[in-house]
Amino acid sequence: MRIPQSGLRIDSPAFPLLQAHITYWGITDAAGNALGTTMVDSRCSALTQQPSYAGHVVKILDGPSAGQIRTIMVHTLATGTLTVAAAFTDSTGAVQQIAANIRYVILSIGGGFEWLIAVLSGNITDLPYLMETWQDVLGIDVTVWTTVVGGAGPGTVARSVAEEPYQKVIIAGAGNANDTARLHTVQEWQVAPDTYGLNTIVKRLPMEWEGRFVDVASIDAAAFIMGLTQNALDTAASANIAGFCIVAGALNAITNDGTGPTVTPIPSAPNLLLWHKYRIVVYAGTIEFWVDEVLEVTHTTAAGQDLPDVNAHGQFYVPQVALGAGTGELHVAPVSIKPQALF
């Protein structure tokens, strides 16, 4: 149905058709960040007035980025700030800051659209990556993983199929004071959110795994870490890390670039005794923390948060509390670390 150029009355038969494709019309009323990854419309805010549009797609209608679409990764309802998955650009390909008074629409389609286009056009490339399914009945591959245990027990790291269909590794203390168990990758990957951009090959680094805990209270929360760390023997107290940690028995996200940590509670407060899927995604100026396919926490350079720029190991470290009577365990099923290039 052709929409008349003279305008579309709200009582027109064509209006419901238009609404089916457009969820929200807006005009920015403040400038986004200089990285080109945010746009601000204070009217698109407040939980009682607008729902979260995270996961939808935004299309710019005005200015140097007119016509571009991006996935909305975070909708900050308190301010009306929309954070997108990749920076807006101008006609030369340079990063474009979204100014005030720019018209836009939020479309009634799911996110990830620009990555889908890249995949369909053959423009996204996986670089050398790790995919661990723990299917080797001979045990842990020492050319891929390094096991480090300590303490009176000492701690243990072992492959297990006792909870089928999970093929997993159990990283555990042994009910002894100060037992430690650690599993980290032999290889390192580039974690450089402040470097990723138009002139770098690596654009995005996701790390994913499934996991569940046993007896969280017996884990030394001050040191426990699972995620990406610069050094093979790092803990939650180390510099240059990005991962999940435990604070007062609850799951938190932590990043640290050496100037101090940024620690943020995971809003959904998952039951750590159950299986969950964990994901860390690093891209331009951003590190995201996902649980069960839901984006829970985002740390950004633009917000002044502490994002490391290092070569990092995949890391799972389970230290036992002093005088611990129980067994602090982390069960880890398939693990994937997959840097991606977009050409």
Instruction: Give the predicted TM-score (pTM) of the model.
Output: 0.69
Provide the token pair at 245.
């940690």
Residues 30 and 175 in one domain: no
Interatomic CA distance for residues 313 and 335, integer angstroms: 13
Angle at 74 between CA 69 and CA 77, to 5 degrees: 115
- Pair 295, 73: CB distance under 8 Å: yes
Provide the token pair at 102.
């720019």
Q: Is residue 2 part of a domain?
A: no
Query: Total domain count for the chain?
Result: 2
Q: How far is CA 231 from CA 178, 221, 259, 328, in A?
A: 21, 19, 16, 23
Q: Which CATH number belongs to the domain containing residue 56 in this structure?
A: 2.40.10
pLDDT of 262 reads 96
pLDDT of 191 reads 95
Residues 72 and 97 in one domain: yes
Interatomic CA distance for residues 46 and 216, integer angstroms: 36
Q: Which CATH number belongs to the domain containing residue 179 in this structure?
A: 2.60.120.200
Provide the token pair at 220.
């030394």
Query: Looking at residue 320, what DSSP letter applies?
Result: B
Q: Is residue 84 part of a domain?
A: yes
Provide the token pair at 3.
């929409």
Residues 310 and 274 in one domain: yes
Show the domain range for 116.
Answer: 15-122
pLDDT of 19 reads 62
- DSSP secondary structure, 13-36, as one string: TTHHHHHHHEEEEEE--B---TTS
Q: Is residue 61 part of a domain?
A: yes
Residues 102 and 243 in one domain: no
For each of the chain's 343 residues, which pLDDT tens digit applies? 344 444 555 566 666 656 667 888 889 999 998 878 889 998 887 655 678 887 788 999 999 999 888 888 778 887 888 888 678 888 887 889 999 999 999 887 665 545 555 545 555 677 789 999 999 888 899 999 999 999 888 999 999 998 888 899 999 987 677 889 999 999 999 999 998 876 788 888 999 999 999 999 999 999 999 999 999 999 999 999 999 999 999 999 999 999 999 999 999 999 999 999 999 999 889 999 999 999 999 999 888 899 999 999 999 999 998 766 678 899 999 999 999 886 5
CB count, 10 Å around CB of 28? 25
Interatomic CA distance for residues 298 and 181, integer angstroms: 29
pLDDT of 324 reads 61
Q: Is residue 9 part of a domain?
A: no
